[in-house]
Amino acid sequence: MKRIVTIQDISCVGKCSLTVALPIISAMGTEAAVIPTAVLSTHTAFSNFTFCDLTKEIAPICEHWKNAGIGFDAIYTGYLGSFEQIELTERLIADFKTEENIILVDPAMADGGKLYKGFTVDFAKRMASLCAKADVIVPNLTEASFMLGIPYVDCGYDETYIRDVLKKLTDLGCKTAVLTGVSFEAGKLGVMSYNSETGEYFSYFRERIPESFHGTGDVYASTFLGALMRGRSVEDALMIATDFTVESIKATINNTPDRKYGVNFEEAVPYLVSRMDK
What residue ranges bind ligand PXL (CB under 6 A)?
9, 11, 16-17, 40, 43-45, 79, 108, 116, 215, 217-218
Structural contact between residues 138 and 169, judged by C-beta atoms closer than 8 angstroms? no
Residue nearest to ligand PXL as judged by C-beta position: 44
Residue placing its CB nearer to ligand PXL in the complex, 17 or 30: 17
Residue placing its CB nearer to ligand PXL in the complex, 79 or 96: 79
CA distance 139 to 109: 9
State the minimum distance, in angstroms, from the CB of residue 277 to ligand PXL: 28
State the minimum distance, in angstroms, from the CB of residue 153 to ligand PXL: 22
Nearest 5°: phi and psi at 260?
-65, -25
Measuring CA to CA, which residue among 103, 5, 17 is closest to residue 58? 5
Q: Which amino acid is at 210?
A: P
State the minimum distance, in angstroms, from the CB of residue 244 to ligand PXL: 17
State the minimum distance, in angstroms, from the CB of residue 156 to ligand PXL: 26
State the minimum distance, in angstroms, from the CB of residue 88 to ligand PXL: 17
CA distance 223 to 138: 12
Structural contact between residues 230 and 268, judged by C-beta atoms closer than 8 angstroms? no
Residue placing its CB nearer to ligand PXL in the complex, 9 or 247: 9
Residue placing its CB nearer to ligand PXL in the complex, 195 or 242: 242
CA distance 202 to 179: 10
216 alpha carbon, distance to own chain's centre: 9
Q: Which secondary-structure segment (H or E) carries 205? A: strand 200-207
CA distance 117 to 95: 31
Residue placing its CB nearer to ligand PXL in the complex, 98 or 212: 212
State the minimum distance, in angstroms, from the CB of residue 42 to ligand PXL: 8
Residue placing its CB nearer to ligand PXL in the complex, 217 or 226: 217
Residue 100: CB atoms within 10 Å: 8
